[in-house]
A and B are shown apart, each in its own frame.
Chain A
Amino acid sequence: MVSRVGTGVLVVLFLAGLWLVAAPFALRSQPARAGWAGITRVDVTVGGVLAAAGFLGLAGVIAGRVRELYADAASVASMMESPDSIRQGSPRTREFQGL
C-alpha cells in the first residue's frame, strides 16, 4: 500500500515536471519570439529536472519490482525442481548466508 502511494507520488512528480516545462508557454506568460525571462528559464529547468527525476524514479521502482519477481520465481522454481533445496533454503537465503 505504502509503495503504491510512493509510486503514485513519483508519477505526479513526473507530471508536475512536464507541467512546469509547459506552463510558461501554455499560459502565454512567455512571448513567442522573445528571449526567455528569468522565471521561464527557472521553470523550464526545474521542470525538466523534476520530470527526469520522476521518470528515472519510476523506471527504478519498476526495475526493482521486476527483479524481485524474477528472484521469487527463481526460488520457487528451484524449490520445485529439487526437494533438497527446501532444506537448504531459497537462493536469497543462501545469498544472505554467503553460500
Chain B
Amino acid sequence: MMTRYLSGLLSCALGLCGGGWLIVTVVLLGGVPSDASLVSLGTGAGVALLSAVGTGCWAVAWRQRLRLDGVLLGRNRPLSHGQARRNRRILRRDMRRAARLARRAVRLEEKAHRRQAAGQGDGKPARGRCHGDKRRREEAVPRAPGPLIPPPRVPGPDEAAGGPARGSESPVVLLSELRAILEPLLTTGPLEVLLTGPREAPAGPPAAPPPSTVPPAAVSPITVPPAAVPPAAVPRIAASRIAVPPASMDGEESW
C-alpha cells in the first residue's frame, strides 16, 4: 500500500542528494568557471529544488492517505482569539434564542390553561379577541429575564395544618414516605451509631435527647400526624437534626 509513497520519497531524496552533489562539485572542485561547470551548477540547483518539492509532495500525499485510512488523527489546533470570540457570540445568540423560545412556550401554555379554565367556567371557549389584545399588551411591555423554572409551590394554611392538600399527593404523605425510606438507612448506617450511641446501652428509660439547636417549627412547618409515621422514626429523625457532639464528628462526615 505504501510502495508508491516510499519509492517516490526515496527517489526524490536521492535526487536531492544528486543535485546537492552537483552544486558542491562545481563550487568546491571547479577552478575556472566554464560552460560545463555552469551547466552542472544550473542543473544541480534545478534538480535539488525539484527534488525538494517532490519530497514535500510525497510526504503530504502519504500523510493524506494515512489520515484517510484512520492511522493519523486530525490535529486539534488551538483557537485564535477571533474564532473564540465568534464562537462565544454564536453561543450567546443560541442561548438567547432558546430562552426566548422557552418563554414563548411557557406563555402559550399559560394562555392555553387560562383558555381552558375560561371555557370550563363559562361553558364555552373564550374568544380570541381579548387574548389577542392581551398578547399585544404583553409584547409591548418588555419582560425582565426571569428564571424559567417556576418557584416552588407554597403550601396553603390548611395544608400546613395537616389538612387535605389541593394537589394529587399530600405533602404529609410524601414526608411520611420519605421518612419510611430514610428510616432503614438511619437505623443501620454508621451515622446511627454516631447519633444514638452504641446499641449495647443498658435497657431502661430512654435518655432525653440532647438539646436541639434548631427549633422544630423552623425546620418544618408541617406537623406530621403520628399515625402516618412509624413510632421509632420520629425521635431518630429528630436526633438527626440535633447538633452532634463535636468530639465525635468533624466537618467531613456531616451532611
Q: Which residues of A contact B (CB under 8 A)?
A: 2-3, 5-7, 9-10, 12-13, 16-17, 19-20, 23-24, 27, 29-30, 37-40, 42-43, 46, 49-50, 53-54, 56-65, 67-68, 71
Contact = CB atoms under 8 A, between A and B. Distances in A.
Contact of B15 (A27, A54, A62, A71): A54
A64 B2 contact: yes
A62 B30 CA distance: 39
A77 B21 CA distance: 49
A3 B47 contact: no
Nearest to B1: A68
B7 interface: yes
A13 B40 CA distance: 14
The majority secondary structure among interface residues of chain A is helix
Given A6-B57, A6-B58, A13-B47, 5 more contacts: A10-B8, A42-B40, A43-B40, A50-B15, A63-B7
B58 to A, nearest CB: 4
B9 to A, nearest CB: 9
B11 interface: yes
A32 B227 CA distance: 126
Given A2-B64, A39-B25, A64-B2, A50 B47 contact: yes
Nearest to A57: B11
A64 B4 CA distance: 5
A60 B36 contact: no
Residue in B25, B26, B34 with the greatest tally of chain A CB atoms within 10 Å? B25
26 contacts: A3-B4, A6-B54, A12-B50, A16-B15, A16-B43, A16-B46, A19-B43, A20-B43, A23-B36, A23-B39, A24-B36, A24-B39, A29-B34, A29-B35, A29-B39, A30-B36, A38-B29, A43-B43, A46-B18, A50-B18, A60-B3, A61-B7, A64-B1, A68-B1, A68-B4, A71-B1
B61 A56 contact: no
